[in-house]
Amino acid sequence: MKAFSVKLFKIAGLAFFLGIVILPFAWMVLSSFTSPEYLFSKAPSLIPKGFWTGWYASVFTKSNVPRYFMNSLLVAATTMCISVAVSSLGAYSLTRFRFRGRKTIMYAILCSYIFPPILLMLPLNHILSSVKLVDTFPGIILTHLTITIPLGTWMLRSFFAAIPIELEEAGQIDGLSKIGVFLKISIPMTAVAIFSIGLFSFIQSWNEYLYSSVFLISTERKTLPIGIREFIAHYDTRWGEIMATSVLISVPVIIMFISIQKYFVVGLTAGAVKA
């Protein structure tokens, strides 16, 4: 009897969590495939009303979304590459080299990871406008790097620390320099983790809203999260297109996330505790 009520509690709990997560997303997907006469109904219901792809057709042919998609891809991919290179070097230095000021730098990186974008927005605006990088791709990539480098460095530390030190020592005995050890042993051994943290940077850049909304102005350079706002107008908000675009922004992220899940979770938890 007792075991039964525990089980019941568990099932009810799981149903609750799955419900609050799945129902909204189901509604997003469902709305994106619903034709206008049912979408704009004053008595909406969860029952699907056919499979209508008009919103997607409109998004692909009549809007700037394809362009924004390419912009987002370019910005996120560049951010990912720079971020991975810079953070893996930094993280390796912090885990394997013993030098003066190491602890201070570690705190500085932890603090810049915690430092909120809203407080950095004004100063960054000041800097970017003084070097004429407002409304440019290099400018927005720089701002995204302030988010991805500290977190990337912080997360990669735990992966480098997990390499058995004996392996690196053996490499040195075999005549490799410390740089050689890093390039020929440590990098190959953590390649998958580094790649996953790279994709994590990609996702962060892909999702970023605040900086992009402030620093990207012209249509040719807007990224998806900013571009989608074009469907919102005071009297005519294009909900069908918005839901279709939301699906299109979210799906790549969800696919990437599922493929790197293991490292993603380690990365997330590294934010709060040492993994």
Range 243-262, binding another protein (CB under 8 A): 243, 246, 249-250, 253-254, 257-258, 261
Out of 59, 155, 224, 244, which residue is the one contacting another protein (CB under 8 A)?
A: 224
Distance CA(10)–CA(243), nearest Å, equals 33
- The nearest distance, CB 73 to another protein, in angstroms, is 14
In one letter, which amino acid is 260?
I
Count of residues interacting with another protein (CB under 8 A):
99
- The nearest distance, CB 9 to another protein, in angstroms, is 9
Helix-strand-coil split of the chain, %, nearest 5: 75, 0, 25
C-alpha distances out from residue 146 to 79, 133, 137, 200, 274, Å: 10, 15, 15, 14, 22
Is 271 among the residues that bind another protein (CB under 8 A)? yes
Region 115-134 residues binding another protein, contact defined as CB under 8 A: 115-127
- Token pair for 215: 């620093």
- The nearest distance, CB 268 to another protein, in angstroms, is 5
Q: In terms of CB distance, is 149 or 194 closer to another protein?
A: 149
Q: In terms of CB distance, is 102 or 174 closer to another protein?
A: 102
CA angle 236, 240, 244 (to 5 degrees): 135
Region 50-89 residues binding another protein, contact defined as CB under 8 A: 85-87, 89
Residue 77: count other Cβ atoms within 10 Å of its Cβ.
16
Q: Is the dihedral of CA 191, 192, 197, 199 positive or negative?
A: positive
Q: Mark the segment that binds another protein (CB under 8 A) among 48-56, 62-70, 108-116, 184-192.
A: 108-116
Out of 160, 228, 244, 263, which residue is the one contacting another protein (CB under 8 A)?
A: 228
